[in-house]
Structure formats: C-alpha cells, structure tokens
Amino acid sequence: MYRWVVAEAAATLKRCLRETFLVIQLRLVRYWAIRCRTFSFRPSRFSLVCTKRRFFAPYTALNPYAISAPRQSIQSSANRTRYCDRLQYFLVPNGTVIGRGQITKLLGRRALGRNSRYIAIILLSLALCQKGINSTLRGGVLFLAVVSLCALIATGSRGPMLFFFIALVLLFAFNNRKLFWGLLVVTAVALLVMKESVLFHSIYERVASIFANDNASNNARLLMWSNALGFIEFNIQHHFSTFLFGTGDSSLEALLTQYLSSVGSIEEMQKSVNDQMSINDFHNLYLDSAIRMGAIFTLAYLSFIGYLLLALSNMVLNGNKNAWMSISLIVTYLGIGTVYSNNLEFQTAIFFFLLALCITWPNSKASAANS
C-alpha cells in the first residue's frame, strides 16, 4: 500500500511538473512573440494561434514532449495559461499586479527584441546539429531563427548582434567548414552592399560604430569600466568586506557617487561622454556583479557557468552534437556580458530557462519519442 501511494504521488508530481514546464514555456515565448503579431500562420508543430488570448506565439517546441505530442502539449498549455499570471509577481517590484497587456511596457521593445538573440542561436544550432528531425521541422526551425534574427536587428543593439555573430562563427567553424566560409563571404558582401545602399546604410553605420573611437556610447562604457575597476581597488584597500560581499542594489549608487566625488568631478565625467555615464550600472556583467554582489558570489556564479561549459565540451567530444546548442547559448550570454549587465535580470531568467531546455534536449529521435 505504501509503495503504491508513493508511486502514484511520484507519477502525479511528474505530470504536474511537465504541464507546468509547458505552461511557462508558452508564456515566456508569448512575451517574445507579442511584438510579432503582424505575422499569421496556421497551427502547426512549431506555431500556433491562440484566439482566446488574441496573440500569435511561435511554438518553438524546445522540449521532447512537445515534439512527440504537439497537439496535446499545445492544448494543455493553452488551457492553463491563466495560472502563469502569478509569474508577473516576479517581474515587478513589491509584487505589484499589472495587467496582461502591460507586460510589453515593463520589458520594452528593445528588451523583448534582445532576448531573441538566445532563441536565434539555439534554433540555428538545433537546425545544424540535430540529425533526428525531418526536413519540414528543420525548415520551420530555420524560419523562426530568421524571424528572431530580424527582431534582434530591429532593436539596433550592437553588443548582442556582435556576440551573436561570434557565437555563430564558432558554431559553424567547429561543425561545418563550408558554412563557416560561406558565412564570412556573405557577411562581407552584405556589409559592402549596406555601405553603398541608401536603404540599409543606417544598419552599416550602426555596425561600424562598434569599433568607432569617437562614439559617445563606447567612450561612456570605457569610462564606466575604468570607474568600476577603481572602485573595486578602493574597496579592497578600505572596505574589504564590501569587496567580498558587495554593495547591494540599494547602496550602490550612493557609495559609487561618494567614491567618484573623491577622485574627480562627476559633472566633468558626464560632459565628456554626452551625459551617457551611468552611476548605477556598469554595463558589464563581471564588473557589475563583482561590485554589486561581491567577489564571493561572482566567483561562484562564473565557476558554475564554467563547469557547465566544461561538461558540455566533454559531451561534444563524446559525440553529442546537441550540446552545441547549450555551448552557443552560453558563449552568447557571456559575450554580451562584456558590454551589458545581464546578470540578475529578467533576461538572466530567460537565459537559464532556455539553457535548461537545451541541456535536456534528447540526443536522438528515438529518445524524443520515448519522452
């Protein structure tokens, strides 16, 4: 009797976790796709139209259950989206309830678009490395990757575009040399065309500004990084406990302002970079985490991600090419972290959510069916 109760409880818990997993996936994809409502498709394995909520959501099907039973998973998720309203408590301060239509105001167009960098690199890795999916599903995955890439380009975010390209180059270099050289040639031709084109010249200027020495945004980042390094050195010498455990969110601005005032004029600093210097964000994952959360947390956090990279590299060496999805995602995240403070934010939850999907992705079509 005892074993039967335990077995039933375990089965019920597994079913609830699987359904909750699908609900959260659908809800998070909705946040990303709410800006893509100009597109319309018929329901399929990798897309759906939910008329009840009046939004289009590309269903990327990044979990085995959704592929083995797409109709059941879609219906189960759509029927339970109301429970995901509780997730909004994690997206606003003090648990303030917001309306369903206000989620885009909270995240913003640029934030929603930048999250597509993760989706695009995952889908391209999936299409390249996964050998067990048919041509129709592969084509749908590539199409969603292109849509995600267009959303990323539309944001004009230079850092995410740069490190997405770097992750893509590494993916192709280690998996398909022909695609690698083809990507370089296509990129070079595209840049030349955009440089001479009136229609796309603004995109070229945006890309070229990444390496410009006279760009105010670039100079502001260099100034903020210099201030961050000086602040870390100051904490090591005078407030070692702050160096170890961090300033925290609430005290960062006051402590940094006090330090900057002691080494120079904040007004002159702002004037030198056209008022683009921030005193509560260093635009760097590593520096921001080291100051805000402390050296102990930062070391533990980066060690955990490094351990994942090492384990995934061993999986690739053992023949599991699906691990490239996770590796590409981590490379993109860490690369973007050099120019953005993408730690302990909503996009951090997006990153780990997608990383969990990639790690649990089956290595063969048979394992997907068994799931």
- Contact, 171 vs 124, CB < 8 A? yes
Q: Who wins on pLDDT, 368 or 248?
A: 248
Average pLDDT, the chain: 72
The Cα 13–Cα 16 span in angstroms is: 5
The answer to which of 52-66, 199-213, 355-369 has the lowest mean pLDDT is 52-66
Host H or E run for residue 50: strand 48-50
Residue matched to tokens 């102990």: 296
DSSP classification of residue 43: -
What tokens appear for 217 in the block?
A: 């945004």
The Cα 52–Cα 82 span in angstroms is: 11
Dihedral sign of CA atoms 287, 292, 293, 295 in order? positive
Give the pLDDT score at 270: 92
Give the pLDDT score at 40: 33
Q: How does pLDDT run across 345-371, given as a tens digit for each residue?
A: 777 888 898 898 888 877 654 444 444
Could you give the 3-state DSSP secondary structure of residue 316? helix
The answer to which of 16-25, 189-198, 203-212 has the lowest mean pLDDT is 16-25
Q: Who wins on pLDDT, 84 or 3?
A: 3
Neighbour count for residue 108 (Cβ, 10 Å): 11
Question: Quick check: 108 pLDDT over 90?
Answer: no
The Cα 95–Cα 264 span in angstroms is: 39
If you compute the radius of gyration of the chain from its CA atoms, what whole number of angstroms results?
23
**Binning pLDDT at 50, 70 and 90, where does residue 114 land?**
low
**Binning pLDDT at 50, 70 and 90, where does residue 139 land?**
confident
The Cα 74–Cα 67 span in angstroms is: 10
Q: Who wins on pLDDT, 55 or 121?
A: 121
Calculate the CA 149 to chain-centre distance.
13
Give the pLDDT score at 10: 57
The β-bridge partners of 49 are: 56
Question: Quick check: 232 pLDDT over 90?
Answer: yes
Give the pLDDT score at 370: 45
- Contact, 116 vs 149, CB < 8 A? yes
Domain chopping of the chain, boundaries? 12-175+303-370, 212-293
Question: Which distant-in-sequence residues (6+ apart) come within 8 Å of 196 by Cβ?
Answer: none
Amino acid sitting at position 166: I
